Structure 1
């Protein structure tokens, strides 16, 4: 399942490093900034792997600390606990997935082109095996572990909605859209047009992940549905 962690935390520079390598534990002397970042990435990567392999509620801080070769106190200091680690994993993975895409706040292309690129990238993200496994874990454990559902929502869906909401509120974009629909609603509606019944289908093992062509076709259909319903 190691490859699945690309959504939660991109493959690290040294994910298979030995305990005495810079990714783990303490090295002699004052650690360099790059070494500190590598260790932090390794810690987040380890936590993400354990969450997906075992379930959030079954993973303790002691288990994470032991696997990552760090002290429990280090986790508290850097992330505040399990929820902070999960949030970091989701946030970092999501940021890297969109890292080569122009910012929605500054992209000057036509609205249709910007949303078209975002739609494809978004559907590629939610089609990743790690996202599917994460979604199933949240559905299964959120009732008994509320912090899991809250952390997932804050680090994922909420950020997507806020990002899209700011885009639809842009001075050059807002006049193109229906005036009776607030930008917060437009963000939710756009995601819903793209997702369709994807969230329901995630509860069942797919025969095979969607192909690139299928994702692009689905993205185009969702975007067309959205634009037909909101553009003046």
Structure 2
């Protein structure tokens, strides 16, 4: 035992290899995003994700712990790419309606993509509810988006452009308006042929309704 301890003490410490590790992490997340969207949570294994990312399964587990944690991080990464923090820039020099339209278009594009529609259906399944993945998805996806939008609203309230008593409620209402019937029809497969013009008119109507409810009369 003393000899083994001595050898361990004199063994050189492994190099951190941080750039390489971060590259592997990014590759794992990219593979997970793509495969979860295509195959759903149950249809994809950690082995498959590791193979797609070009790493070992042990590497996947060392970065993310388990499949649930990887799923949550993949959702967070997907949402951040589709609707980055910069979209919620509260700079009041940008006209309010213009800013809301920009957020609205980015959000609707994210939730109406074929992959997002498939993911929405998956999250409504009993299996996802039982595993609490729907709750985790809400926390790292919609809840994050609403919180960032609420910060934008707070800044606009401070400069006198909006009058809102309950900012969190108003934030949720804004995204509910953006989804509306059009998103529901997409989820149910009733109408998947909406044109860009129809989507634009829907988003503009949602923004204008929000401003009629909360905009100040300058």
Alignment TM class, shorter chain as reference: 0.7 to 0.9
SS at match of 2:42: helix
User: Which whole-Å deviations, capped at 9, do the CAs of 1:91-131 have from their partners, x for residues lacking one?
Assistant: 22222223595542336312111111111111111111111
Answer yes or no: is the 8 Å Cα contact 1:46–1:64 preserved in 2: yes
The count of aligned residue pairs is 201
Q: Look up the match of 2:40.
A: 55
Superposed, which structure 2 residues align to 1:186-201 within 5 Å? 186-201=170-185
- Normalised by the length of structure 1, the TM-score is 0.74
Corresponding residue for residue 231 of structure 1: 215
Q: What is aligned with 1:81?
A: 66
Give the alignment of 1:38-53 within 5 angstroms. 38-53=23-38
- Mean CA deviation greater in 166-175 or 217-226: 166-175
- 1:56 positional shift: 1.2
Aligned partners of 2:200 and 2:176: how far apart in 1? Answer: 16
Asked if residue 71 in structure 1 is aligned to residue 64 in structure 2, the reply is: no
Q: Deviations over 1:3-30 (max 9, x none)?
A: xxxxxxxxxxxxxxxxxxxxxxxxxx99
Contact 2:101 2:207 in 1 (8 A): yes
Cα 1:84/1:108, change in 2 over 3 Å: farther
1:182 is displaced (CA, Å) by 1.3
- Counterpart of 2:135 (choices 133, 138, 150) is 150
Q: Is the contact between residue 135 and residue 202 of structure 1 (CA under 8 Å) also seen in structure 2?
A: no
The SS at the match of 1:167 is: helix
**TM-score normalised according to structure 2 size:** 0.78
Structure 1 residue 173, shift from structure 2 partner:
4.7
Decide whether the 8 Å contact of 2:37 with 2:116 is kept in 1.
no
Higher share of residues assigned helix: 2
Alpha-carbon distance change, 217 to 173 in structure 1, aligned in 2, over 3 angstroms: farther
The alignment yields a C-alpha RMSD, in angstroms, of 2.7
SS in 2 for 1:41: helix
Unpaired segments of 5 or more residues in structure 1? 1-28
Matched, 1:159 2:132: no
User: Are residues 120 and 161 of structure 1, via their aligned partners in 2, closer, same or farther at CA, if it must alter by over 3 Å?
Assistant: same
1:52-100 Cα shifts (integer Å, max 9, x gaps)? 3433134333443344343333223212222222222222222222359
C-alpha separation in 2, matches of 1:37 and 1:107: 36
Please say if residues 194 and 218 of structure 1, whose CA atoms lie closer than 8 Å, have aligned partners that are also in contact: yes
**How is 1:116-131 mapped onto 2 (pairs within 5 angstroms)?**
116-131=101-116
Q: 1:144 to 1:198 in 2, by over 3 A?
A: farther
Match of 2:10 in 1: none
